[in-house]
């Protein structure tokens, strides 16, 4: 299966940026504690802004991949970077002026605390996970290009997990051996520090406890201790293939894995299928499996908090969930499906065009981000028309009550060219959406024009 959803998008971003070179990561000194952006954010929060309204917008010349917050409220952004970018505390450069990634650490008040850049060539880099001490981990896969150096010397492995300290300094590396296709999608850290990864592979993969072979694209989950020592792993082969883009961990180390079981292919090699959700004990024992039949779509992301686990992605056909039929008027829609942690179907919603990422807050809400087209609505709330010209899709965000799926708010950000990568909700309930835009985009205060070819953004939305 040559055209896997999320993996293809990662590869497209890499191809767009033209990765190359090798190098050593520099650090930056800690910047002043507060900037104009942090002041504006604090003022907006104190004014009790309208739920879902824009209260923060940061721009930079990089391509965000993900954003994650730790248990101390601090956040880390991962982005593809070419040359130099200023994330808010002065320029950060890829060694040698080449192409690679940037890691940016933020304080709980939004100020940039540190930033590092690494040359990563053609690599797909996923993460970061953050443990209770603030230590980071990334999972890396590459098919060609020079060795990568995260500060501990060149790493010759083509697949590996790298552990970094709370400022992005090198700690350890764990190679993952094998041959064939390998695409990690998610990496999470438990409260105890154990690191779990999930994704898809075909061929042979060895997470450290012996080779696992599959001729088809196959979902995997694998866990490592806080120092990278292999603990356990599972693969999930199916008749036509499977993949696992969704992964979340509870406070006690319980894991939830979500993905797609392939049932159909299109002429261009794209695949569609049923959805699955699995629960594992901290020691890797499978507790239960749930399957959603007939959506002909893809799961893209999973999140959990408290007693709810939520998935998002897209679907092409109506399907049954929680005693109701999930539909979308356009024939191609985003979805949110919520389960209890015991595996019971709670509620499902279909809307807009495509769900990209999701998070569940400690304050009882599920927030999803994705793309919409002109004419789309969310639970009866119409989204603003997509401007003529450029891309036919714009970005939406929507917030639902965690317990019953009632819509809290929905927002559309009209654009002539934009892409959303991830969402993270902090302890205050503030949602931060990351992505990039190549055309004029209205983030809430009127259209913003990017610096060609594209500009990255972090958008803060009030609870």
pLDDT tops 70 at residue 4 = no
CA dihedral angle for residue 312, residue 316, residue 322, residue 323, rounded to 10 degrees: 170
Domain containing residue 392:
5-461
| pLDDT of res. 229 | 97
Total Cβ atoms within 10 A of residue 143: 13
Q: What share of the chain is helix, strand, coil (3-state, %, to 5)?
A: 5, 55, 40
| pLDDT of res. 279 | 98
Confidence of residue 34 (pLDDT cuts 50, 70, 90): very low
Confidence of residue 360 (pLDDT cuts 50, 70, 90): very high
| pLDDT of res. 24 | 30
| pLDDT of res. 463 | 87
pLDDT in tens, 195-242: 999 999 999 999 999 999 999 999 999 999 999 999 999 999 999 999
Those residues whose C-beta lies under 8 Å from the C-beta of residue 314, and which sit 6 or more positions away, are 297, 298, 300, 332, 333, 334, 335, 353, 354, 355, 370
Question: What's this model's pTM, rounded to 2 decimal places?
Answer: 0.91
pLDDT tops 80 at residue 361 = yes
Mean pLDDT value across residues 326-346 = 93
Those residues whose C-beta lies under 8 Å from the C-beta of residue 423, and which sit 6 or more positions away, are 67, 357, 358, 359, 367, 368, 369, 397, 431, 432, 433, 434
pLDDT in tens, 48-76: 679 999 999 999 999 999 999 987 778 99
pLDDT in tens, 123-178: 899 999 999 999 999 999 987 778 899 999 999 999 999 999 999 999 999 999 99
Q: How high is the mean pLDDT of the chain? A: 90
| pLDDT of res. 46 | 53
Question: How far apart, in whole angstroms, are the C-alpha atoms of residue 116 and residue 423?
Answer: 21
pLDDT tops 80 at residue 21 = no
User: Hey, is 46 helix, strand or coil?
Assistant: helix
| pLDDT of res. 331 | 78
pLDDT tops 80 at residue 89 = yes
CATH at residue 174: 2.130.10.10
Tally of structural domains, the chain? 1
Q: 3-class secondary structure for 307-342? A: CEEEEEEEECCCEEECCEEECCCCCCEEEEEEEECC
Give yes or no for a contact between 302 and 311, defined as CB atoms under 8 angstroms apart: yes
């Amino acid at each position: 299966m040559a055209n896997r959803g999320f993996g293809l998008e990662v590869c497209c971003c890499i191809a767009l940026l033209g990765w190359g070179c090798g190098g050593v990561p520099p650090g930056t000194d800690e910047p002043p504690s507060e900037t104009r952006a942090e002041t504006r954010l604090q003022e907006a929060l104190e004014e009790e802004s309208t739920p879902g309204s824009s209260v923060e917008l940061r721009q930079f010349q990089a391509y965000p991949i993900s954003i994650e917050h730790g248990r101390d409220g601090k956040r880390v952004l991962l982005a593809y970077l070419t040359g130099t970018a200023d994330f808010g505390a002065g320029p950060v450069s890829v060694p040698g002026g080449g192409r690679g990634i940037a890691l940016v650490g933020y304080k709980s008040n939004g100020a940039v605390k540190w930033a590092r850049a690494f040359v990563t060539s053609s690599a797909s880099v996923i993460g970061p996970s953050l443990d209770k001490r603030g230590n980071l981990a990334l999972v890396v896969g590459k098919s060609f290009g020079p060795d990568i150096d995260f500060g501990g010397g060149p790493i010759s492995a083509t697949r590996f997990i790298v552990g970094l300290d709370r400022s992005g300094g090198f700690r350890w590396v764990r190679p993952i051996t094998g041959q064939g296709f390998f695409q990690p999608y998610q990496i999470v850290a438990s409260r105890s520090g154990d690191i779990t990864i999930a994704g898809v592979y075909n061929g042979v993969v060895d997470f450290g406890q012996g080779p696992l072979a599959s001729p088809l694209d196959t979902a995997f989950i694998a866990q490592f201790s806080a120092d990278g020592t292999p603990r356990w792993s599972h693969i999930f082969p199916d008749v036509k293939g499977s993949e696992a883009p969704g992964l979340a961990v509870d406070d006690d180390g319980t894991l939830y894995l979500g993905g797609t079981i392939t049932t159909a292919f299109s002429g261009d090699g794209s695949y569609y299928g049923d959805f699955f959700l699995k629960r594992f004990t901290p020691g890797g024992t499978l507790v239960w499996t749930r399957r959603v039949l007939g959506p002909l779509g893809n799961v893209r992301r999973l999140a959990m908090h408290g007693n709810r686990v939520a998935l998002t992605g897209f679907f092409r056909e109506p399907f049954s969930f929680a005693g109701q039929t999930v539909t979308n008027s356009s024939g191609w829609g985003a979805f949110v499906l919520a389960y209890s942690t015991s595996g019971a179907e709670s509620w499902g919603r279909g809307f807009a065009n495509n769900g990209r990422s999701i998070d569940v807050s400690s304050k009882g809400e599920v927030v999803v981000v994705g793309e919409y087209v002109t004419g789309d609505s969310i639970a009866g709330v119409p989204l603003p028309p997509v401007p003529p010209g450029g891309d036919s899709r714009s970005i939406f965000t929507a917030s639902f009550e965690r317990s019953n799926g009632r819509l809290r708010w929905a927002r559309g950000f009209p654009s002539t060219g934009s892409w959303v990568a991830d969402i993270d909700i902090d302890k205050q309930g503030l949602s931060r959406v990351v992505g990039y835009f190549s055309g004029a985009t209205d983030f809430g205060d009127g259209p913003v024009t990017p610096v060609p070819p594209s500009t990255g953004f972090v958008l803060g939305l009030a609870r």
